[in-house]
Amino acid sequence: MPAGRYAPSPSGDLHVGNLRTAVLAWLFARSSGRDFVMRVDDLDRVREGAAQRQLADLAALGLDWDGEVLWQSTRAEAHAEAVDRLGAAGLTFECFCTRREVLEAPTAPHRPPGAYPGTCRDLSEAERAERRRERPAAVRLRSQVEAWTVSDELHGEVTADVDDLVLRRGDGVPAYNLTVVLDDAHQGVDQVVRGDDLLTSAPRQAYLATLLELPVPSYAHVPLALNTDGARLAKRDGAVTLAELRERGVDVLSMIGASLGFTGAGPQDWLTEFDPERLPRDPWVVDPPE
């Protein structure tokens, strides 16, 4: 059964912008007859108890999901096997650059700022051996293209840069761009709905899926929630989580529904109103109560 999904990282409680994106992912899936599956991306920045609170908050909003929650940390063998497969095909190389070195390195005029400049792509074996004595190597994809195009339900055709993206970090943790591709395919996800801050990541993930002979999902990147200063909403902006807002008497479902132009009481009612063509295209500016 094809599916949509929501895949939070358990680094803390979900804020109302995260909850709104989860609602939209659920609506996209349920309105199209798909299953809706849940994954906890627990490979990095895990705060004790956060995942359980996140799942409880989603259920409290009236969202349900099919099957068991997938914990990404249980997929280590599959992640490692994919890196090995790409390596055996000559599509990886060791990289010893720090994030700062990549950001500070000059890039070609036609590449966006921060694109990997190829520093370690063609090191000799002797050079690699010398670098290994200084720091552990990350594994990067040896990309065969400079850009890739995907189709997004809200943004149309999107073409973005594809550099030699990291597949496994120097500390051995598989990178997001790899795990999201593998785990979506594993869960039967053929529809990815998420914040539009990840829009330019979709082409590189679609390209990687193609290399791994996995299906490329459809995409819908929805507007983010911002604070009144125009920055991404965050915990420091005050009462922004479900528990905090309810404590102040805020009806969070009404708040989310109004931001999307819905009049019903909750997700089940919103299914009858849901039309992707009518969704707001601008960011949602949230002004939490003091």
Distance of alpha carbon 277 from alpha carbon 254, whole angstroms: 21
Answer yes or no: is 88 a known binding residue.
no
CB 18 within 8 A of CB 191: no
Answer yes or no: is 85 a known binding residue.
no
Answer yes or no: is 207 a known binding residue.
no
Answer yes or no: is 136 a known binding residue.
no
Answer yes or no: is 7 a known binding residue.
yes
Answer yes or no: is 108 a known binding residue.
no
Answer yes or no: is 248 a known binding residue.
no
Distance of alpha carbon 145 from alpha carbon 204, whole angstroms: 10
Answer yes or no: is 206 a known binding residue.
no
Answer yes or no: is 281 a known binding residue.
no
Answer yes or no: is 51 a known binding residue.
no
Answer yes or no: is 164 a known binding residue.
no
Binding-site residues for ATP, in ranges, read: 235
Binding residues: 5-9, 41, 95, 97, 116, 120, 176, 194, 235
Binding residues for Zn(2+): 95, 97, 116, 120
Residue positions forming the annotated binding site for L-glutamate: 5-9, 41, 176, 194
